[in-house]
Amino acid sequence: MDIFIQQIINGLVLGSIYALVALGYTMVYGIMGLINFAHGEVVMIGAMVALFVIKALPGLPAIVLVPLALVCAAIVCMTIGFAIERIAYRPLRRAPKLAPLITAIGVSIILQNLAMLIWGRNYHAFPPILPSGEHDVFGATITSLQIVIIVVAGLMMGGLTLLIRRTRLGRAMRATSENPPIAQLMGVNINQIISATFVIGSALAAVAGLMVSANYSIAHYYMGFMLGLKAFTAAVLGGIGNLAGAMLGGLLLGVIESLGAGYIGDLTGGFLGSHYQDIFAFFVLIGVLIFRPSGLIGERVAERA
């Protein structure tokens, strides 16, 4: 039984990480109807910047260092997010949907190679400055950091929902999402709103990057690719464009993967092994697209007409 609980906890932690990244995808999709495939790379850059700030200032206490690293990473990511939108998406706003998708992938490759040139091909070990004490939950273990990740993912989802539902900016975002020309006629500067969406999404990516690399204590220029793909799957599973959906999708995907990898060998008598872990994510994606294309939580907060 404790093994089962441990697998659920593993899944929740993994799922929260997916959810953190998925929030960025879903937010941009919700407002613009565009899948920002460079988001995974922005997460990677957030992780790299945070890592190097922490390494550059070894003397400071964690309580100062972590927020500082986070702020630096967020500033860099926000700048990159702003630039991506400006360079790769804005000129294509009236182009067919496939065009920005291709530039997104182009941007993602550029960012990946840029990171490789700046930070090299080596794996970077994330310094153990975040709390990693182990706690016992019904015979299973969870580290403090993992609890922090779950909490942060929840808080970020809540904060974003408030932002979109309750603030002036949020209202402008919803208006932009519903009908950009009309929103513009009503005095909303849609260029500004879309830029703001990307900037906020990229700040989330910085947080996600820090959390992911602290949890696995690893940062590498290649880390954004698979993470981005899984997070995207999570966003679609929950209902892309819906913030709660991204959270739900992430957690569910994490648990499915974890239980799948843990039990598939026993269930199939060794015919299928645990290396099929990644397959579950994509099976789930195909299943959802066939049977419930709008995702588990079908209605989106911000729908594009």
Query: Which residues contact another protein by CB under 8 A?
Result: 3, 6-7, 10-11, 13-14, 35, 37, 97-98, 101-102, 105, 108-109, 113, 116, 120-123, 125, 128, 132, 134, 141, 143, 216-218, 220, 222-223, 226, 229, 232, 236, 240, 257-263, 265, 273-275, 277-278, 285, 289-290, 293-294, 303
> CA 29, CA 167: separation in Å to the nearest integer?
19
Neighbours of 213 (CB within 10 A): 24
- The CB-of-162 to another protein minimum distance in angstroms stands at 26
Complex with another protein: residue 121 or 168, whichever CB lies closer: 121
> CA 265, CA 4: separation in Å to the nearest integer?
15
Complex with another protein: residue 103 or 176, whichever CB lies closer: 103
Complex with another protein: residue 123 or 162, whichever CB lies closer: 123
**Is the Cα dihedral 298, 299, 302, 305 positive or negative?**
positive
- The CB-of-304 to another protein minimum distance in angstroms stands at 9
- The CB-of-289 to another protein minimum distance in angstroms stands at 5
- The CB-of-88 to another protein minimum distance in angstroms stands at 14
Question: CA Rg, the chain, in Å?
Answer: 19
- The CB-of-106 to another protein minimum distance in angstroms stands at 8
Complex with another protein: residue 82 or 222, whichever CB lies closer: 222
DSSP letter at 125 equals P
140 φ/ψ sector (left φ>0, alpha ψ -120 to 50, else beta): beta
Residue 143, strand partner residues? 134
Amino acid, single-letter form, for residue 100: P
- The CB-of-158 to another protein minimum distance in angstroms stands at 25
Q: Return all residues near 197 (Cβ < 8 A) that are at least 6 apart.
A: 27, 28, 31, 32, 173
> CA 172, CA 192: separation in Å to the nearest integer?
10
Task: Name the packing angle between helices 223-238 and 39-56 (round to 10°).
Answer: 130
Residue 136, strand partner residues? 141
> CA 275, CA 258: separation in Å to the nearest integer?
11
- The CB-of-124 to another protein minimum distance in angstroms stands at 8
DSSP letter at 187 equals T
Complex with another protein: residue 78 or 243, whichever CB lies closer: 243
Neighbours of 124 (CB within 10 A): 19
Complex with another protein: residue 180 or 203, whichever CB lies closer: 180
Complex with another protein: residue 54 or 203, whichever CB lies closer: 54
